[in-house]
Structure 1
Amino acid sequence: MDYTNADTSAHSQERNNQNTEEYFSDDEKKLITRMYKLVGERWSLIAGRIPGRTAEQIEKYWTSRNSGTTN
């Protein structure tokens, strides 16, 4: 039996899980916080101010950092 595909699939899934924890610079974090206070959950508008970031990345970052808190 060939386990190569199963191993590759598991490794790929692990990489995807690690990628959900995106790295954001301190400047990006500060800008996201300031923009969120100004415009709320308008992720595409916030992402438009940060080159190379998508609305989905911004939203995922925000919800992972602020889940369970009230703003």
Structure 2
Amino acid sequence: MGDADRSSSHDVSPDSTEQTNQASKIKFSEEEEILIAMVYNLVGERWSLIAGRIPGRTAEEIEKYWTSRYSSTSE
């Protein structure tokens, strides 16, 4: 039983690593990156407005890209 308890608590780390890897797998072109930065500087964290300027991108993809690339670890 002790082994099962350890493995279940260990399962939490790979999940968070998987989320980080998922965000880094999203590829943006250089033009998209520039556009995201420009619109972000104008409107801030209004991801749906930014996504509206980039065909084929969702607000969630853009937010994940931005936070994985530009967020500082303040936790």
Do they fold alike, i.e. is TM over 0.5? yes
Q: Distance in 1 between matches of 2:49 and 2:43?
A: 8
What value does the CA root-mean-square deviation take over the aligned residues? 2.0
Structure number having the greater helix percentage: 2
- Residue 53 of structure 1 is matched in structure 2 by 57
Q: Which runs of 5+ in 2 are unaligned?
A: 1-14
Distance 2:68 2:48 in 1: 17
Q: Which runs of 4+ in 1 moved over 6 A?
A: none
Residue correspondences, number: 55
| Percent identity between the two aligned chains | 64
Relative contact order, higher structure (CA 8 A, sep 6+): 2
Q: Which of the residues 23, 27, 31 maps onto 2:31?
A: 27
Residue 19 of structure 1, CA deviation:
4.2
